């Protein structure tokens, strides 16, 4: 039995939930900053991050940490096609924005204001701006027209940005159109963090 552990608000978790929509699995929603879920997270995942997957098989168990590793593990297990190197690069770009925004979000949640003069914030904002422009260009070329894993990851990122009001997407017309075109998919609405 496959059990995915995560948080309903994490874009890394949501991408897997969307991708696994037609695959039998359990989802355990952890409130990772509250006890006892924090204790469970520490016990089950030494990296103390979500998502992680536990694959219980007869007489054995496999734990897989990190969304990308989970995707590759399940792609192989379920016989799904591997990503091309171009798609892997698309994921790297999407993850770069996710990583920067997660770090800035956590700092903001900790009461630390983004200071344009500090190197950390300057680098993160520079990365986010540059990569979103690149993703907008890739979308304009039709690279996210198929509803595949990279497209699901991109949707989860854009929707999370909108949900948390993390970045002004004005001018990124292709990304906004991509988001709008996919917002009513059943697996998207079923995993909406606003619910």
Give the pLDDT score at 85.
98
Contact between 160 and 153 under an 8 Å Cβ cutoff? The reply is no
90-108 pLDDT tens trace: 999 999 999 999 999 999 9
Distance (Å, whole) CA 169 – CA 124? 16
Residue 158 near residue 152 (C-beta atoms within 8 A): no
3-state helix, strand, coil in the chain (%, to 5): 55, 10, 35
User: What pLDDT, on a 0 to 100 scale, did the predictor assign at position 176?
Assistant: 98
Phi, psi of 73 (to 5 degrees): -60, -50
Burial of 77 (0-12, 13-18, 19+ CB in 10 A): middle
The pLDDT tens digits for 105-157 are 999 999 999 887 899 999 999 999 999 999 999 999 999 999 999 999 999 99
Residue-wise pLDDT tens digits, 72-89: 999 999 999 999 999 999
The per-residue pLDDT for 54 is 98
pLDDT of residue 127: 98
Please tell me the predicted confidence (pLDDT) of residue 116: 78
User: Which burial class, exposed, middle or buried, applies to 3 when counting CB atoms under 10 A from its CB (0-12, 13-18, 19+)?
Assistant: middle
DSSP letter at 148 equals: S
| Residue that is written with structure tokens 């991050």 in the block | 49
CA 36 to chain centre: 24
pLDDT digits (tens, 9 = 90+) for 14-69: 999 999 999 999 999 999 999 999 999 999 999 999 999 999 998 999 999 999 99
* Domains of the chain (ranges, CATH numbers): 2-78 (3.40.30.10), 85-190 (1.20.1050)
């Amino acid at each position: 039995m496959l059990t995915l552990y995560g948080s309903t608000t994490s874009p890394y978790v949501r991408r897997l939930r969307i991708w696994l929509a037609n695959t039998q699995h359990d989802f355990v929603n952890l409130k990772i900053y509250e006890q006892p879920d924090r204790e469970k997270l520490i016990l089950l995942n030494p990296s103390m991050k979500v998502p992680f997957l536990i694959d219980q098989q007869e007489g054995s168990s496999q734990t897989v940490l990190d969304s990308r590793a989970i995707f590759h593990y399940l792609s192989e297990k379920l016989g799904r096609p591997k990503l091309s190197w171009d798609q892997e690069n698309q994921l790297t770009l999407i993850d770069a924005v996710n990583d920067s925004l997660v770090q800035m979000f956590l700092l903001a949640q900790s009461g630390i204001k983004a200071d344009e003069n500090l190197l950390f914030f300057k680098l993160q904002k520079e990365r986010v701006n540059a990569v979103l422009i690149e993703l907008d260009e890739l979308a304009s070329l039709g690279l996210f027209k198929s509803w595949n894993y990279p497209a699901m990851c991109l949707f989860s990122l854009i929707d999370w940005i909108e949900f948390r009001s993390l970045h002004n997407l004005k001018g990124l017309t292709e990304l906004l159109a991509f988001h709008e075109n996919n917002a009513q998919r059943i697996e998207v609405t079923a995993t909406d963090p606003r619910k």
